[in-house]
């Protein structure tokens, strides 16, 4: 497998991304955070949707959004399997109406081994996204905000092909804005994980690596690693540094899925989706309209 290029482009891409949403202090008070998180947690448990946050509880900044997301995680009460990076591609950003990546959490009860059958009845977003997923074998150092992609990869012990099936608790998720979508756990819903990639995968050219997604056996989407902030390892490094700035910890065993390759694929109950990662494997899921179908 050809070696990937590491040409310093990561620092340029990530610094530009960070400049678009500098850190701010949390403006919401504890009561507002609690009310916003409680509304989202109820919608999460019921697979429900609503138009807007409770009055006076809409997050105005990304810091507000991440504060609500942190409280949401505690209210959901499910162990955390890892993290997701949303909107790492131009297509992903257009899909949810933002201009920069967002971080969300993967909860264990919504992570499934492939092949999986997912119930789609209450999913309004209705897309599937092929993604590279990494797993950390060691805790990342706390408070270090300038890690390179190469440095972050030293903490990674596995690579997986994966498909995310996101959703938002907001009816009009395109217009609510980035802080609200962060509070909404960056549109996380369900995640299907393929087998860990066997053999030596570290030297592949991720930026040029092709992935093909099939819908009911027909070729539907083509993507490449460069779709994800130029390289999925660069997306991983962006997230590691962003988490460190926001006091969010990446721990041993955590999965991180790095964003859609190509574009989100429109799906519906009855469809079958297969993402072909070539020599890295494949991941497949089926979509049902009714529980237990």
- Could you state, in order of their start, the residue ranges of all structural domains in the chain? 9-288
Q: Where are the alpha helices (DSSP H) in the chain?
A: 9-19, 30-46, 62-76, 90-96, 149-153, 178-183, 232-245
222-258 pLDDT tens trace? 999 999 999 999 999 999 999 999 999 999 999 999 9
Rounded distance, CA 27 to CA 10, Å? 31
pLDDT at 93: 82
What does the pLDDT read at residue 291? 55
Is 67 a residue whose pLDDT tops 90? Answer: yes
- At residue 23 the predicted structure's pLDDT band, cuts being 50, 70 and 90, is low
243 against 19, higher pLDDT:
243
Give the angle 87-88-94 at the CA atoms, nearest 5°.
45
Q: 115: cis peptide before it, omega within 30°?
A: yes
Mean pLDDT along residues 97-105: 91
- Decide: helix, strand or coil at residue 134: strand
Cα 70 to Cα 68: distance, rounded to the nearest angstrom: 5
Nearest CA to 127 among 228, 215, 236? 215
Instruction: Output the average pLDDT for the chain.
Output: 90
Name the pLDDT band for 2 (thresholds 50, 70, 90).
very low
24 half-sphere exposure, CB direction, 13 A CA radius: 14
Tokens read off for 28? 């919401």
Q: What is the CATH number of domain 9-288?
A: 3.90.850.10
Q: Is 104 exposed, middle or buried (0-12, 13-18, 19+ CB in 10 A)?
A: buried
* pLDDT tens, position by position, 139-167: 999 899 999 999 999 999 999 999 999 99
Q: Please name the residue ranges forming H helices in 79-188.
A: 90-96, 149-153, 178-183
pLDDT computed for residue 292 by the predictor: 45
The pLDDT assigned to 81 comes to: 97
Angle at CA of residue 207, ends 250 and 21, nearest 5°: 50
Average pLDDT of span 180-199: 97
> What's the predicted TM-score (pTM) here?
0.89
Helix (H) or strand (E) holding 11: helix 9-19
| Residue 152, pLDDT score | 97
Mean pLDDT of the 2-26 span: 46
Kindly report which listed range (82-96, 184-198, 231-245) carries the lowest average pLDDT score: 82-96
pLDDT in tens, 37-56: 999 999 999 999 999 899 99
Query: Among residues of the chain, what percentage have pLDDT more than 90?
Result: 81
Rounded CA separation 178/186 (Å): 9
Which region, left, alpha or beta, applies to residue 292 given φ > 0 means left and ψ of -120 to 50 means alpha?
left
Tokens of 189: 């819903």
User: What is residue 11's predicted lDDT score, i.e. its pLDDT?
Assistant: 39
pLDDT-derived band at 99, boundaries 50, 70, 90? confident
pLDDT at position 8: 42
Q: How many CA atoms lie within 13 A of 80 on its CB side?
A: 21
């Amino acid at each position: 497998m050809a070696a990937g290029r590491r040409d310093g482009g990561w620092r340029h891409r990530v610094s530009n991304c960070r400049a678009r949403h500098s850190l701010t202090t949390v403006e919401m008070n504890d009561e507002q955070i609690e009310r916003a998180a409680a509304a989202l947690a109820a919608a999460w448990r019921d697979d429900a949707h609503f138009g807007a946050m409770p009055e006076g509880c809409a997050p105005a900044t990304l810091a507000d959004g991440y504060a609500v997301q942190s409280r949401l995680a505690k209210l959901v009460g499910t162990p955390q399997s890892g993290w997701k990076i949303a909107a790492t591609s131009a297509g992903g950003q257009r899909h949810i109406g933002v201009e920069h990546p967002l971080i969300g959490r993967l909860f264990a009860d919504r992570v499934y081994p492939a092949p999986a059958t997912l119930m789609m009845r209450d999913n309004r977003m209705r897309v599937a996204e092929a993604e590279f997923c990494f797993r950390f074998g060691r805790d990342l150092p706390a408070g270090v905000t300038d890690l390179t992609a190469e440095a972050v990869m030293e903490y990674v012990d596995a690579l997986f092909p994966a498909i995310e099936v996101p959703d938002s608790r907001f009816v009009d998720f395109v217009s609510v804005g980035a802080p609200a979508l962060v509070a909404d756990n960056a549109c996380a819903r369900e995640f299907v994980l393929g087998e860990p990639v066997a053999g030596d995968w570290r030297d592949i050219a991720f930026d040029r690596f092709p992935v093909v997604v099939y819908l009911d056996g027909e070729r539907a989407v083509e993507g490449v690693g460069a779709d994800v902030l130029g390289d999925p390892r660069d997306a991983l490094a962006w997230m590691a540094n962003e988490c460190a700035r926001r006091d969010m910890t990446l721990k041993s065993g955590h999965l991180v899925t790095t964003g859609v390759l190509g574009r989100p694929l429109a799906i519906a109950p009855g469809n079958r989706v297969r993402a072909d990662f070539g020599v890295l494997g494949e991941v497949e899921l089926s979509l049902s309209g009714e529980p237990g179908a």
